[in-house]
Chain A
Amino acid sequence: MKQVVVMIRRGPLTTVLTGEALRMSLGLTLSDHRVTVVYVEDGAYGALDLKPEQIAQPSIRQSLDLFEGMKVRQVVDRDALESWAVPLLRKDVTPIKRPAVLDLICKADVVLSF
């Protein structure tokens, strides 16, 4: 088992890669890795309650619904978000300060950047 950080850096609605990163995060739990999804930079907005299917992008709901059962943790770099966005965060995402984000990355065995 390894500590794996999946770092989402891109804005969520300009690419399908956010959904792909979430799907991959779920897949990584199949070998019992401890997976943490970290939303940073423009990717921080991927932690909001979004509905990508409304602009013909793949839904992310299926992956998110399975995260809790598979013990996938989600955190967002609080400093990457504008204040208006904070109340719109999904309840399953924990906002943390940037030093804590860096600490997570430093302690990970594997970091996968999307």
Chain B
Amino acid sequence: MQIGILLTSSPEHENTYTVGQLSANFLRAGHGVQIFLMDDGVYNAVKNPSKNRLFSNMHQLMAEGAKIYLCAVTAEARGLAQEDFLDGVELSSQYELSHIVECSDRFLAFG
């Protein structure tokens, strides 16, 4: 089953942990996961080497096969560019989100 997820809240919100754990378990169960980050949700994919950084397992999710996209418009509005994000994260558009919605058997929104 293909699972699509929209995450619009920042890493300090419990949604990040929920999405991270749900996605990890979907992947382990053999499902495909595509996550679209928008608005403050884009901060979940920012490179941050701080040992005090808030929870984010986006890097591990990508290593396990998840595809992660983010809204380039909301990233740009926050002063963020491709080099600020984890390798493998794709800057994309609302068209990509509409495509994920189309291709998903289940679509979940967290915001």
Contact = CB atoms under 8 A, between A and B. Distances in A.
Interface of A: 1-2, 4, 16-17, 20, 23-24, 26-31, 33, 110-114
Contacts of B39: 16-17, 20
A31 B102 contact: yes
Given A20-B38, A20-B74, A112-B6, A28 B98 contact: yes
B interface, by DSSP: helix, strand, loop or mixed?
Answer: helix
B94 A114 contact: no
Interface in B73-111: 73-74, 93-95, 97-99, 101-102, 104, 107, 109, 111
Nearest to A27: B94
Contacts of A27: 93-95, 97-98
B8 interface: yes
Contact of A112 (B74, B99, B102, B109): B109
B98 A110 contact: no
